[in-house]
Structure 1
Amino acid sequence: MLDSFSFTYPLFLLLLPLFILSALLFKQEKESYYMPHFYQLLPHANKKHYVREILKWTMFTCMIFALSDPIITKKIKAVKSNAVDIVLALDTSDSMSTYGFNEKKYKQSRLNVVKEVVQNFINSRVKDRIGLVVFGTTAGIASPLSFDKEAQKNIVGNINVGVLGKSTALIDGIVSSIQLLKNSKSKSKIIILLSDGEDSASKIPLEFALKLAKKYNIKIYTITIDKSYSDMMKVIANKNGAKNFEVQNKEDLVKVYKSIDSLEKSELEYNTLSVHEHIYFYFLIISLSCAAALLPYVKNRGVL
């Protein structure tokens, strides 16, 4: 879409009225011979004269326009996404093999239910980078921050109970998650920590983990599957301006991830960029074409 038309050197346009004024004031004097009825003998002379004048003034005008450097300025709306960097920290301790979390599929383990819900959550965060951390007796990074949602869903699908031991190194899992986020340039950095038990194996104190999260401006949402172990999870969430969620079944878990999804939305910024297109070349081509068309007149008459 054409938004504006302008010239880089508009002062050159003053040459056009100067040429017109010169043509009016300083006409070439020619020798004249009176020959009655000679005009009738040359019916095309007047037509050729007009063609020559049109070519001449088109050449001058386009030449001056080319010197003035005409520009077309287009306004383009650019969209910048302020994505959220999210780390999903998942408990893989032995207690996650417990049945009954999904009332419709009683023999589906807690972890398998969590995997299914987390995969759907990953699908919903199209514009965001997501990282994965799992913890049992130790904590480990399953995936760095990435936009590759299909790869992350495959990783989640292959996580098994006890992959990192039977115990629960919950605080170590928080610190591993912070390691993924600490160098992030995103305005919004969050950890979604899911567990069904108290910490029983971490080597890092909770106070240190919370100070580290605060230092890097990271919010920690906590999801507690068993209410009896919710005290520590509440402390973790409240200290970082986030929220603790308690869930009893799959339906609760789905609602929690949807709630977090609505709380942590990616923002879109709209910026307008100005793109300048220099079009002097087109006027130059027209001017040179007119000059070439005038060559026969110059050869025959010696003047324009």
Structure 2
Amino acid sequence: MLELVWPWFLIALPVPLLARWLSSAKPNGDVLWWAQSQHFIQHQDKTTTSGQAILGKSFLWLAWLLLVMAISRPTWVGEPTQVTPSGRDLLIALDLSGSMKITDMTLNQQTADRLQAAKEVLADFIKKRRGDRIGIIVFGTKAFLQAPLSFDTKTINQLVQEAQIGFAGQRTAIGDAIGLGIKRLEDKPSDQKVLILMTDGANTAGRVQPSQAAAFAASQDVRIHTIGIGADSMLVRGFFGPKEVNPSSDLDEDLLKDIAKQTGGQYFRAKSTEDLQHIYQQLDEMEPTPSEEVWQRPITTLFHWLALFAILSFTASFALNKRFYFSVRERT
């Protein structure tokens, strides 16, 4: 739908006609702008009806029409589109310690390490969180902000996929990861601050104790959901043949349960990729994105296009009139 911001400028459209009528009503004599005026007058009747002259006048009128339309600021208002309103500030703390390279997960019926499985599930989870600001914290021996809170889920997902084991060190600083998450969630609405902590071990590094960090998170109204990732059993090759071991023996489930309980979150146990997918589906339901519908109409301004065509029309009219003038001089 076409709309004009300043429609009253359209009253200027008949100005050239008015000016022409006034000039014809009060002639100024035979004074012209060039010396060969008499010769031009003698040949004017023979040439003014030529197609070139008519075309030049047409371009001049078109330029004036386009210029007035441009000044009236036409805009094209598109069809209504749904816009997802702002939702939660959601941080995901991803463990990159050395134990995340244990291959006790499967992807597409092939063995995969824990980080590969986490990336695959997170990609789908992040893609669905339209309307939320999502950030990524990676931690090992130290905790780092991999991606600040942003609505750009595509870039966030790319940064998740670029994370590699060992980027933050080989050990596990759970307390520091929580502390960094609290800092990044400061001054946010209390009912919208969520931290998802995913790890496969126990706190073995860092300056902040996880229980202290959890208590402070609770005082700041930061809700923490914890995920313990890793299978309960797997076969490994030994000197006397394959044997069954527990690759998650280092997982401190009691700590993760306590962190979730203190902050009003929930603890989940992911023993397989399928478990992890189900957990993030549950989190998607527990922390829903905004459901109310917001509609807006995209607006595209047409001013610059009309102004450009007006300039081109003025140029064409000038070129044709100049050519017409020189053709008259050649005849004289």
Tell me which interval the TM-score lies in, with the shorter structure as reference length. Answer: 0.5 to 0.7
Deviation at 1:181, TM superposition (A): 0.8
For 1:162, give the aligned amino acid: G
Contact 1:89 1:134 in 2 (8 A): yes
For 2:197, give the aligned amino acid: L
Separation (CA, whole Å) in 2 of partners of 1:170 and 1:267: 30
Separation (CA, whole Å) in 1 of partners of 2:291 and 2:187: 22
Deviation at 1:86, TM superposition (A): 0.4
Deviation at 1:110, TM superposition (A): 0.7
Contact 2:95 2:199 in 1 (8 A): yes
For 1:133, give the aligned amino acid: I
Query: What is the TM-score with the length of structure 1 in the denominator?
Result: 0.60
Instruction: Identify the residue that residue 145 of structure 1 maps to in structure 2.
Output: 149
Cα gap change, 1:80 to 1:167, in 2 (>3 Å): closer
**Residue in structure 2 matching 1:248, options 271, 282, 289:** 271
Identity of aligned residues (%): 34
Superposed CA offset, 1:155-203 (max 9, x none):
0010000111100011111111111111223631110000000000021
Query: What is the TM-score with the length of structure 2 in the denominator?
Result: 0.55
Separation (CA, whole Å) in 2 of partners of 1:194 and 1:249: 14
Separation (CA, whole Å) in 2 of partners of 1:251 and 1:269: 31
For 2:181, give the aligned amino acid: S
Deviation at 1:215, TM superposition (A): 2.3
Instruction: Identify the residue that residue 283 of structure 2 maps to in structure 1.
Output: 260
Q: CA RMSD in A?
A: 2.4
Superposed CA offset, 1:30-82 (max 9, x none):
xxxxxxxxxxxxxxxxxxxxxxxxxxxxxxxxxxxxxxxxxxxxxxxx98835
For 1:244, give the aligned amino acid: Y
For 1:167, give the aligned amino acid: R
**Residue in structure 1 matching 2:92, options 80, 88, 91:** 88
Deviation at 1:221, TM superposition (A): 0.2
Superposed CA offset, 1:230-272 (max 9, x none):
110000001111110011100000000000000111234579x
Is 1:107 the equivalent of 2:111?
Answer: yes
Separation (CA, whole Å) in 2 of partners of 1:160 and 1:215: 33
For 2:290, give the aligned amino acid: E
Unaligned runs of 5+ in 1: 1-77, 272-304
Cα gap change, 1:81 to 1:110, in 2 (>3 Å): same
For 2:128, give the aligned amino acid: S
Separation (CA, whole Å) in 2 of partners of 1:79 and 1:224: 35
Query: How many residue pairs align between the two structures?
Result: 196
For 1:224, give the aligned amino acid: G
Is 1:121 the equivalent of 2:125?
Answer: yes
Instruction: Identify the residue that residue 18 of structure 1 maps to in structure 2.
Output: none
Separation (CA, whole Å) in 2 of partners of 1:149 and 1:219: 21
